[in-house]
Amino acid sequence: MYDWLTEHKIPLGPWIKSFVDFLNQHLQWLFDGISLVLGTLIEGLTGLLLATPPLLLTALFAALAYFLHRSVKLAAFTFVAFLVVINLGYWQPTIETLSLVIWATLVCVAVGVPLGIAAAHRPWLYAGIRPILDLMQTIPTFVYLIPTLVLFGLGVVPGLISTVIFALPAPIRLTHLGITSVPTQLREAGEAFGATKRQLLYKVELPHAMPTIMAGITQCIMLSLSMVVIAALVGADGLGKPVVRALNSVNIGMGFEAGAAIVLLAIVLDRVCKRPERKAGGR
Amino acid sequence: MVAIQFDKVDIVFGERRKQALALLDQGKTRDEILAETGAVIGAAGIDLAVERGEICVLMGLSGSGKSTVLRAVNGLNPVARGGVSVRHDGAPVEVTDCDADRLREIRMRTVSMVFQQFGLLPWRTVRENVGFGLEIRGMKAAERRRIVDEKLAMVGLAQWADKHAHELSGGMQQRVGLARAFATDADILLMDEPFSALDPLIRDKMQDELLELQRRIQKTILFVSHDLDEAMKIGNKIAIMEAGRIVQCGTAEDILLRPATPYVAEFVKHTNPLNVLRGHSVMTPACSVRRDDGTVLLDRDGLVRMRVDAGDRPVGVEVNGREGSLGRVNGNAGAFDTPCDIIVAPVELKLATTIALKRKTDHPIIFVDAEGKLAGLCGDDEIYGSLLRRSA
């Protein structure tokens, strides 16, 4: 029995490989196109941010933080955090990482929020995508890093794709959670006053789900940030690069400096993106 | 004019509806049908007509199907069989088989609803909540604001317009719910236990406010309650429900004096009759009062005699041989304070008010009908009798 099992191995590996090869041969134009568009977008944003004088940009970030939260403390923290990054000499990789995170989050939100809403309204759809979401979150990153590398070539794009695969389930799940947890009574109140499906979504469901959806987006940002080192392995620029280099050359100092920059960026993004706490609970 | 009409309505929840309805026709009970098909009979054989301007209360314990019936009026619960029609744009429209656009029309303009847990949107201000129905209808902001402020003033919340719902007390939140329902100017108001979540004092006050508002705006109200006292206080008509069926439908007095089933009798036993019973069900009627030579004898010894004219209207009274005075109660009986020997009051007077009046005189209260004709007498015996008969 054992021998029979080992002799008749299911050719899972070869299947996947020939599938990827097939994609690579026949849909090369598509992947090249995607690669070109995404690469241009990310590099465009990076270029724009890097063209701005670092101190001015730091001040702008601080101003944005103040504008969003009306908090001098947060604005001051943002300002100081970016000054430290400049001081350590990691300004450029920080901006490259920021650009990658921004695009990854945008893609995740653009795909994840509508998908989460659709899944909340159609239980069969959620039942269908749930195992896929589980797979996306549990499969080791390196496993899909290889085919994305083959399909999209070396550089920032496979980094972005891998980041999106890893971070996408968060906004989908939390959007689904937010929409399904709208109390029946509120939905009925909408219906009783004659709301259409669309009005129900925009006037009742989305506003009620908004805090949960925002939590999903914040989580998505954090997950994207946690992928920078992995993205660096396939050639994406950013703070991952010095970490990988430090690992290869056993450079403790450089590792910690780059790590500190990642942590500072993470804290700033988390605080800025978090919705201000509601004053009182409410029903 | 009928505003809401239920015509042999059955409501079934669950999968095997056809089968459940067939069993229902065979006379199976709710529990038997549930055991056999897994379907729940929400309501069965509901026939009910609610007149325009009337407050009709659906009363029953939880699970009796009262909310289920209420929610069939605006289509929140689908009807399995039978028809529900509402008066929309001056003509009855079947809610049960009109298309989605028509149903939306009805919900936007003809039928509005007040919820037990208020159903307010917590992220909106009071003003935005009240304007919700109008916003759904696509009304411009300026016009909306005018109507909303008017309705907020009506429920006495004008200065709270910019607060959020959760900053208000329960009673105030429900007033927001009321204002929201009034804002669409719907003729029909569905109220699903609107005051049950409030504490007793506030509930009482809200009931008074509702009655006061109703006097001014004359909506057709279908009201769900599990509290018979509440039902009797506010309902012109009460439909008592048990296990999905209406077991008795009538006025508060009908139900109190002539409960149709032991179930209703059990309910009625614990209610307070003081605000339900009225003069005519308490008094000794005119045909059986003692008379002597054209005067009505008001005491045992014949020393207090009331004269009536040819139309049997009280005109004067003689007390112990001297001429006494008649004090007539019009309007607010609670504030009646005219010194007199004999009190003459309208026959619709509530028992509670009658007792209050009786304390001001040693003689029976004289009840007269709308034309001023003697209707009956009410002395201590009648009052005690009416109270005792009920608790016996």
Opening angle at CA B293, ends B289 and B298, nearest 5: 35
Q: Identify whether residues B360 and B242 lie together within a single domain.
A: no
CA distance A143 to A149: 11
B226/B256 same-domain check: yes
Which residue in the set A188, A195, A208 is minimally distant from B136, CB to CB?
A195
B388: Cα separation from own chain's centroid: 25
Confidence of residue A276 (pLDDT cuts 50, 70, 90): low
- Whether the per-residue pLDDT at B311 is higher than 50: the answer is yes
Instruction: Give the pLDDT confidence score for residue B145 in this predicted structure.
Output: 93
pLDDT higher than 60, residue B392: no
Asked if B251 and B358 sit in the same domain, the reply is no
B283 shares a domain with B266: no
Query: B244, B271, B298: which is the final residue of a domain?
Result: B271
Residue A19: count of CB within 10 angstroms of its CB? 11
- Band of the pLDDT at B66, cuts 50, 70, 90? very high
Percent above pLDDT 70 for chain A: 97
Domain count, chain B: 2
**pLDDT per residue over B31-41, tens digit each?**
899 998 989 99
- Can you give the pLDDT at residue B133? 93
- State the alpha helices, DSSP H only, in B73-163: 100-109, 126-130, 132-136, 141-154
Alpha-carbon distance A194 to nearest alpha carbon in chain B (angstroms): 5
Q: Is B327 left (phi over 0), alpha (psi -120 to 50) or beta?
A: beta
Predicted-complex ipTM score: 0.79
Considering only residues 85 to 104 of chain B, which have any Cβ-Cβ distance to chain A shorter than 8 Å?
104
For residue A190, which residues of chain B lie inside 8 Å, CB to CB?
Answer: 136
What is the domain extent for residue B293? 279-391
- Within-domain flag for B217: yes
What is chain A's percent helix, strand, coil content, to nearest 5? 85, 0, 15
Contact B113 A192 (CB under 8 A): yes
CB neighbour class for B202 (10 Å; exposed up to 12, middle 13-18, buried from 19) = middle
Do the Cβ atoms of A282 and B107 come within 8 Å?
no
Is 70 exceeded by the pLDDT of residue B326? yes
- Same domain? For B253 and B286 the reply is no
List the CATH number of the domain containing B343: 3.10.580.10
B167 reaches A (C-beta below 8 A) = yes
Chain A nearest CA to B166, separation (Å): 5
Inter-chain touch A190–B108, beta carbons under 8 Å:
no
Same domain (yes/no): B300, B258: no
DSSP-derived secondary structure letter, B159: G
A192 vs B105: CB contact, 8 Å cut-off?
Answer: no
**Residues B300, B379: one domain?**
yes
Looking at CA atoms only, how far is residue A179 from chain B in angstroms?
14
Q: Are residues B367 and B336 in the same domain?
A: yes
Q: Looking at the domain assignment, is residue B68 inside a domain?
A: yes
Closest residue, chain B, to A199 (C-alpha): B136
| Top-ranked range on mean pLDDT: pick from A96-100, A235-239, B268-272 | A96-100
Tell me which amino acid residue B164 is. Answer: H
Number of helices and strands in chain A (H, E) = 16, 0
B119/A280 touch (CB, cutoff 8 Å), yes or no: no
B148 touches chain A (CB under 8 A): no
* Residue-level pLDDT at A90: 92
Q: Mean pLDDT throughout B59-67?
A: 90
CA distance to A101, A218, A246, per residue, from A224 (Å): 6, 10, 21
Residues B283 and B256 in one domain: no
> At residue A280, does pLDDT exceed 50?
no
Mean pLDDT value of segment A187-193 = 93
Nearest residue of A to residue B190 by CA position? A192
Q: Could you tell me which residues come within 8 angstroms of residue A165 by beta carbon, excluding any fewer than 6 positions away?
A: A136, A144
A38-73 pLDDT tens trace: 889 999 999 999 998 999 999 999 999 999 888 899
Confidence at A277, pLDDT banded by 50, 70, 90: low
Strands (E), chain B: 2-13, 40-51, 55-59, 81-88, 91-94, 111-114, 188-192, 220-225, 237-242, 245-250, 284-285, 291-292, 295-297, 304-308, 314-319, 322-324, 326-328, 342-346, 365-368, 374-378
Which CATH number characterizes residue B65's domain? 3.40.50.300
- Taking the model in full, what pTM does it have? 0.81
pLDDT tops 50 at residue A282:
no
The pLDDT value recorded for residue B380 is 87
Q: Work out the mean pLDDT of chain A and round it to a whole number.
A: 90
CB-CB contact of B378 with B364 (8 Å): yes
Answer yes or no: do B237 and B368 share one domain. Answer: no
Cα distance between residue A110 and residue B334, in whole Å: 68
Which pLDDT value is given to residue A114? 96
The vertex-B107 CA angle with B103 and B112, nearest 5°, equals 150
C-alpha A244/C-alpha A259 separation (Å) is 11
Chain A / chain B CB contacts < 8 angstroms: 71
Distance CA A47, CA A99 (A): 9
pLDDT at B362: 84
Say what angle helices A206-226 and A252-273 make with each other, to 10 degrees. Answer: 170
Closest CA to B391 of B277, B273, B275, B276: B273
> Considering only alpha carbons, which residue of chain B is nearest residue A185?
B119
pLDDT band per the 50, 70, 90 thresholds, residue B104:
very high
Q: Of A185, A194, A282, which has the smallest distance from its Cβ to B119's Cβ?
A: A185
| B24 assigned to some structural domain | no
Are residues B261 and B195 located together in one domain of the fold? yes
* Domain final residue, candidates B250, B271, B292: B271
pLDDT of residue B319: 86
Residue appearing with tokens 């939100």? A109
Tell me: the pLDDT tens digits for B163-188? 998 899 888 999 999 999 999 989 99
| Band of residue A177 on the pLDDT scale cut at 50, 70, 90 | very high
Residue at a domain's end among B227, B244, B271: B271
| Residues B353 and B319 grouped into a single domain | yes
